[in-house]
Amino acid sequence: MDETRSEQATEQHTMGAVDVEVAREIGRKRDQIIGQVRKVIIGQGSVIELVTVALLSRGHCLLMGVPGLAKTLLIRTLAQVLQLDFNRIQFTPDLMPSDITGTDILDESAEGRRIFRFIKGPVFTQILLADEINRTPPKTQAALLQAMQEQRVTAGGQTHTLQPPFFVLATQNPVEQEGTYPLPEAQLDRFMFEIGVDYPTFEEEASIVAQTTSDYDPVLEKVLDASQILSFQDLVRRVPAAPYVVEYAVSLARASRPTDPNAPSFVREFVEWGAGPRASQYLILGARARALLRGRYAASIEDVRALAEPVLRHRILVNFRGQAEGLGPVSLISRLLETVTPPAEAGAE
């Protein structure tokens, strides 16, 4: 019995040492990925990092930004650098669920018999860009639900498994709301992050204009492939997160709920609904992935704080009073970060 325990301890120690070295390698890969993407995309460093964190966490992203901010180009470039298949769906009011998942067609076999054959839709890819997802009715939006949650598609009574890693990035235009169908809360909660894509700075925009109006044609190098990404996704689950880091993530999510006894007064006054348990899970998963991408093999309080806004902003519903005061989820999250203090053990970091 003692020998078995000793062997298990030795094996765990060896695996831990290997994981630490792999974490350093991932940190180097992160720098290479950003370097390659920046050959095409100027600025948007935080967007690139958050998208990569979500990919390693097996999450999905909702990108909020006006047209023309290179959201599609960024995702296509990332797919090239990571050697992943890429498809883009332009969501429109007349889009049908079968236009996403695929459809059965009547075909004739070699023996002359008529049979139904399934033609795969664009969801059968590794990186899927759902462009302007709120321009299609809820029935079509829901066609992505099973794929995002289970990485499977059911059509014609048959279940088809999607090729891993499967990663959905959806975009929304936050300005033009006429003729749109707001995503239901259940579908919003499927997205790990809501990422705001802002206008570039003056210097960045000047560089964008100069680069895109010239004959500049960058050559992208491949940094990772699907098998490496799947291995890194497994490693994310093994990254240590100390109990006080988990406690802090849970405290942040619970503090956003107006019915929680420990919720701050401004939350009870201005919030209709707060974040659910999935927010706590994503805060810790994201913290683990962010630590790996920075070459560290332990999630920290700072990792959780850095991801609080993209995790919580689409999970906090401001009430009428808050809207009348001009408050939004981002400002409330900022106040939460000031109000909810990390546990005492965090001082040991």
What is the per-residue pLDDT across 77-110, written as a single tens digit (0 to 9) for each? 999 999 999 999 999 889 998 889 888 787 766 6
Second-level CATH architecture of 239-343: Orthogonal Bundle (1.10)
Asked whether this chain's domains 12-93+123-236 and 239-343 adopt the same fold, the reply is no
Burial of 336 (0-12, 13-18, 19+ CB in 10 A): buried
Instruction: Provide the 8-state DSSP code for 241.
Output: B
- What's the whole-number mean pLDDT along residues 158-175? 87
Q: Report d(CA 76, CA 129) in Å as an integer.
A: 9
Domain spans of the chain?
A: 12-93+123-236, 239-343
84 contacts 136 by C-beta, under 8 angstroms: no
pLDDT in tens, 317-330: 999 999 998 899 99
Mean pLDDT lowest among 2-6, 240-244, 340-344: 2-6
- Rg, C-alpha atoms of the chain: 22
Is the bond into 165 cis (omega within 30 degrees of 0)? yes
Domain 12-93+123-236 maps to which CATH number in 3.30.390.10, 3.20.20.150, 3.30.559.10, 3.40.50.300? 3.40.50.300
pLDDT of residue 14: 46
For 39, 156, 164, the CA distances from 118, given in Å and listed in that order, are: 39, 8, 20
Q: Report d(CA 27, CA 80) in Å as an integer.
A: 19
